[in-house]
Amino acid sequence: MSRLNQELGLLQGIGLLSTSLLGTGIFVVPALAATAAGQASLWAWLILIALVLPVAFTFAQLGRHFPHAGGAPHLIGRAFGPRLERLSAWLFLAVLPVGLPAALNIASGFWQALFDLERGALLAIQLATLAAILLLGQRPAKASGLVQGLIAVAIVGTVALVWWVGELPLASQPLLPPLEGSWQSLPAALGVMFWCFVGIEAFTHLGEEFKRPQRDFPLALLLGVLLAGLVYWACSVAVLSFNAYGNVHTDAASLPRLLDLLLGEQARWLSALVGYLACFASMNVYIQGFARLIWSLADEGKLPASLARRNRHGVPGRALLLVVLGCALCASLVGLLNLSVDDLIRYANGNFVVIYLLSMAAGWLLLKGLWRWLAGFSALLCALVLIMLGSDAWYALGLLGVLGLLDYARTLRARRPLGETPSSP
């Protein structure tokens, strides 16, 4: 029996996941991938979609059989026990210091394209964005589903407008160019592009809130992944066709530049509005997922009971407030340290890949038949992506090791009888 209100339908689920996956990535990552791999990035998108689909199928089956607000950490705990559940939960929450500030920086950057804003003004926009997410998150889950469905339509419509006005595909831009001599650039592109498909694990936290989780959750997950993959590939074709890439600074504003080139000065407002809303949608799903993870842990007695309280709409309002305040603190620190978006994305990717890897390993133990073998294959794919990240993966692996040592020390203290002190010689 669900512990949360079951209000989400299939279309709302597709809107939530697709906007989560498109969100911050659609306006930045196609250009970053093109800078890293050039024409070969079109092949990289297809390879990444092929890599992600088995993972999505596995998450769909896990969510279908074990819908739970604890999401991926809960699934890992079912397979490997409470210690690894705690570690994966903290690893997931550790995305806050790097992933959410990256998304907030991208979102505020769209307003900087319209106005000449100082660092303080950009931080104010980021804090206002978090306040809006807090207000929306205090409403029932179907409110977020409706808002994000409309944002998904706006994103798809914008990319379709670029294709129509730009008369794509161009004869000079093959949809699948030859790969001779370009294979070596694919791993670097894939390492950045994986950011576009993180969001599946956050979506699993909403499994308990579907009206028909056994049917609609897996369908929403798979259709959302396919829709996002198609839009990313179409956007990448446009970026390459009009050379809207080249370095970190131009990549961050590639789609606004593209719209400005095709539609003129009036397109600046369109690109800023749609870009900001896309980022808002992605962050909303993640922050709601973080809140539900904290609420679930508190509801099971693993965190303070005060965080398990729900508001009058039946959503975890206190846990959401805690997450939003944490995001605000991290965004302020990132602004002071002046960290780049590219570095933040790469560090966050390591956390996500490790969580995906543990989730797929959990699927090997929890699922049966064909799905079990698909989970095993997905675990191998995730291990391969982790290797591709290279040195960027050490942030996640080192963090997991530190969390493991701290948890082990906590367990030793808990086992020591009350009043016992270490014996002296």
> Band of the pLDDT at 421, cuts 50, 70, 90?
low
Q: Check residue 424 and give its pLDDT.
A: 43
Does residue 133 register a pLDDT over 80? yes
Asked whether the beta carbons of 224 and 21 are under 8 A apart, the reply is yes
Using CB atoms within 10 Å of the CB of residue 93, give its burial: 0 to 12 exposed, 13 to 18 middle, 19+ buried. middle
Amino acid present at 102: A
Mean pLDDT, the chain, whole residue set: 83
Summarised one tens digit per residue, pLDDT across range 22-41 is 876 787 789 888 888 888 88
Rounded (10°) CA dihedral 402, 407, 410, 414 = -170
Residue 170 to residues 39, 71, 189: CA-CA distances in angstroms? 14, 43, 23
Asked if residues 309 and 144 have their Cβ atoms less than 8 Å apart, the reply is no
Has residue 413 got a pLDDT over 80? no
What pLDDT score was predicted for residue 423? Answer: 47
Structure confidence at residue 425 (pLDDT) = 41
Dihedrals phi, psi of 5, to nearest 5 degrees: -65, 130
Preceding amide of 169 cis, omega within 30: yes
Asked if the model's pLDDT at residue 288 lies above 70, the reply is: yes
For 148-203, the pLDDT digits (tens) are 888 888 888 989 999 999 999 888 888 888 777 677 778 778 777 876 877 787 67
Encode pLDDT of 210-240 as tens digits: 888 888 888 988 898 888 889 999 999 999 9
For CA atoms 287, 159, 122, 331, the dihedral sign is positive
- Give pLDDT, residue 60: 84
In CATH, the number for domain 10-69+96-337 is 1.20.1740.10
Three-state DSSP class for residue 8: strand
Rounded Cα distance, 94 and 78, in Å: 21
Q: What is the percent of the chain where pLDDT is above 90?
A: 18
Q: Which amino acid does the sequence have at 109?
A: G
Q: Which H/E stretch holds residue 84?
A: helix 82-93
For residues 17 and 204, the answer to whether their CB atoms sit within 8 Å is no
Q: In the prediction, which pLDDT does 70 show?
A: 79
Contact status, residue 78 vs residue 362, Cβ threshold 8 Å? yes
**Tens digit of each residue's pLDDT (9 = 90 or more) over 81-109:** 998 988 888 888 888 787 788 888 878 87
pLDDT digits (tens, 9 = 90+) for 360-405: 999 999 999 999 999 999 999 889 878 877 777 787 888 888 888 8
% helix, strand, coil for the chain, step of 5 = 75, 0, 20
